Structure 1
């Protein structure tokens, strides 16, 4: 096929290996606009540039597509974070990398849509809820916990339980992402740029788990 013919070919013919990802991304858009109940596979297929029948090659029904979307899309980010953590860097540097990259992710429109769907729809799928907790937030907390564990061993961080620290760091970062998405309605966020919030988060997190200063010794005069 010539380059011009390839460029004009439908997406599902040009990029067959990317069909599931295209469908999942389109599903996020349509579910985000209409919710699970009102969303139609026809609309998702149209947004993805595939036929409705193509969706059934990968997902047996709308609910299965929704469940895979909830698990797959955030898992892409986590896999990227795992791959980009610099080997040989200090734990402080790795924590900075994690916070900055994840902050960029939680400030994307796709994260905002996904978060809204998790709150509004996930209670319909109890088994999915447990899988999601294990595969997404718990996985993120373990990445952070591993960084903290290395920092404790190297003396960069104080002696703190790694997974507990990972849970706290994860929570602080993500709740600020949620607040930033609604900053016009939140007085203490309204005048802060994303970069300012990120700088505050990095500073807070590094100091929260950093080595505590040695207590001052008072001199005794005799």
Structure 2
């Protein structure tokens, strides 16, 4: 990669970060390309060379949000492995994403824009829901193996996601509360496991009776 290309990449990244900060601080509607250029310390023409419109910038942010949300292991059910250990691995990975300040910043911007224009971020919401459906696949696998009670898999998967987000997403995104400490993250994960498995796991003696 040549030096000019690296400079171009740096400018593009500065523009994206400036847009995220402006959208977060002032909202999508109020933010202008002029303000983004000033915050990025580049010319307005440079901004338009990279992104023809605010909508293009917003799309880039959604793409990054999606990439961060999907940077998790696939939720593949493993027969013979303790359900708690399997779920802990999945929830730890989910919690790592929820504790990412960049992810939370992007989520604040996306949700704020959604409030004013639901159709603008509908694709993002749909894609995040699709990502969480991998948990549904895990639940279905555990059910087929006779280890979880019969319940609509998507409902059960949504429940366990909600147990994490109630403490590690919504308070941070909507009330600007601090990211949970590692100790608190672990506590939330273990509590979610207790609640979920206490209700849905079928005891070994019941499976072998």
Please say if residues 31 and 39 of structure 1, whose CA atoms lie closer than 8 Å, have aligned partners that are also in contact: yes
Closer, same or farther in 2 for the Cα pair 1:183/1:76, shift >3 Å?
A: closer
Distance of 2:39 and 2:95 partners within structure 1: 28
* Structure label with greater radius of gyration: 1
Query: How many matched pairs?
Result: 199
- 1:121-180 CA-to-partner distances (Å, cap 9, x unmatched) read 2133232243122111x1133111011111112233222221121222222221221366
**Counterpart for residue 110 of structure 1:** 102
Unaligned runs of 5+ in 2: none
CA distance in 2, matches of 1:205, 1:58: 46
- Is it true that 1:127 corresponds to 2:119 in the alignment? yes
2:200 to 205, 209, 214: 209
Partner residue of 2:74 out of 74, 85, 99: 85
Which structure carries more relative contact order (alpha carbon 8 Å, separation 6+)?
2
Contact 2:164–2:188 (CA<8 Å) still a contact in 1?
A: no
CA distance in 1, matches of 2:47, 2:87: 39
Residues 52-76 of structure 1 show CA distances to partners (whole Å, capped at 9, x for unaligned) of 434334432113322442x212211
Unmatched 5+ stretches in structure 1: 216-222
Aligned counterparts of 1:72 and 1:101: Cα–Cα separation in 2: 20
Q: Secondary structure at the match of 2:27?
A: helix
